[in-house]
Structure 1
Amino acid sequence: MSTRLQAGDPAPDFTLDDADGKPVSLADHKGRKVIVYFYPAASTPGCTKEACDFRDNLAELNESGIDVLGISPDKPEKLARFRDAEGLTFPLLSDPDKSVLTAWGAFGEKTMYGKTVTGVIRSTFLIGEDGTITDAKYNVKATGHVAKLRRDWKI
């Protein structure tokens, strides 16, 4: 089981390929707030709802000085199809070996339909301008997620 991060921890840096195979680093966003969210699989119902929720709120988030990065174990080609099908306008990053998911505590044991399984734990983090985690949320719900974040974080 990977260690869970919490507010005050330094955000583990990463460089992952985006949907076009271009490297994106958390360090590229230094000086801005960043929402990093982890989701199990592109083009599945819950993950599509969550991604479209971020897409629909992206302008307000960006105006508040917040960038959004979505990370899943999907390969870039699948992420590109997902992005294009849903009109997503923020980077989707590929972590096929799950090293970043694990470093952030977003991969491990979880309960699904009453059974304990190992997989991606739907998680969302707010990273401050200085690279420190401001808030860490694990086992989040896909539906209504961004509205809850905006309330909790007063965005």
Structure 2
Amino acid sequence: MSRRTLIRLFLAACLAVLSFNLTSPALALGGTLPTLNQPAPEFTLPTNTGDGEISLSDYQGQWVVVYFYPQDFTSGCTLEARRFQQDLPKYLDRNVQILGISADDVDSHAEFCDSEGLKFPLLADTDGTVSKTYGSWLNFYSTRHSFIIDPEGQLRETFVNVRPAIHSQEVLARLDELQADS
């Protein structure tokens, strides 16, 4: 087993232990979560797509799901990404853009997208600046948090204690509720 694989497995195990003890948004690892029903923190990050950078404001007028995850190619992160990809047509039908963010670099994201057939952008937050702004940073990687942002740029939902196998379905269910109310 390569050193990189061992490090990824170790990080995934550490995250699993830390996430298991997370019981509420008030205990969110990595800082303070942004406030619901307020403008979502703006960001601009490089993307795997080769299009340079993506900003949250690029999606004004559209719903956005921003999900933070620890690392490309780890088991939980791969499962979560696969579920978002599997449900991508449902998101597109709801006028929703998915953006994944981790501390991995653009090259790692490109390799991950190619390997898993991901058709949504992954953004490289290599220094954790955006992850910190969203209360989703722990030492040197992003923690598994997700956010729903409405077409006006307002933060409408926060998810902590994310379970990769079912998270996409949870997000879709909440989107249905939020979109029905708007």
The two structures have a TM-score, normalised by structure 1, of: 0.89
Cα shift at 1:24: 0.6
CA contact (8 A) 1:55 1:88 kept: yes
Which structure: greater strand fraction?
1
Matched, 1:126 2:156: no
- Per the alignment, do residues 118 and 98 of structure 1 end up closer, same or farther by CA in structure 2, a change over 3 Å counting? closer
Aligned-partner SS, 1:102: helix
Aligned partner of 2:35 in structure 1 is 6
Aligned-partner SS, 1:149: helix
Identity %: 35
Distance (Å, rounded) in 2 between the aligned partners of 1:87 and 1:76: 16
Distance (Å, rounded) in 1 between the aligned partners of 2:128 and 2:161: 17
Aligned partner of 2:109 in structure 1 is 79
Gaps (5+ residues) in structure 1?
109-116
Distance (Å, rounded) in 1 between the aligned partners of 2:74 and 2:141: 15
The two structures have a TM-score, normalised by structure 2, of: 0.76
Aligned-partner SS, 1:154: helix
Deviations 1:95-142 (A, max 9, x none): 00000000011113xxxxxxxx87422011000001010101123111
The one of 98, 106, 120 equivalent to 2:128 is 98
Aligned partner of 2:60 in structure 1 is 30
Gaps (5+ residues) in structure 2?
1-29, 178-182
Q: Which 4+ stretches in 1 moved above 3 angstroms? A: none
Quote the RMSD (CA, aligned, Å): 1.6
Which structure: greater helix fraction?
2
Distance (Å, rounded) in 2 between the aligned partners of 1:15 and 1:73: 14
CA contact (8 A) 1:20 1:77 kept: no
Distance (Å, rounded) in 2 between the aligned partners of 1:24 and 1:118: 22
Distance (Å, rounded) in 1 between the aligned partners of 2:165 and 2:35: 23
Deviations 1:49-104 (A, max 9, x none): 00010001111111111110000000000000000000000000000000000001
| Pairs aligned (count) | 147
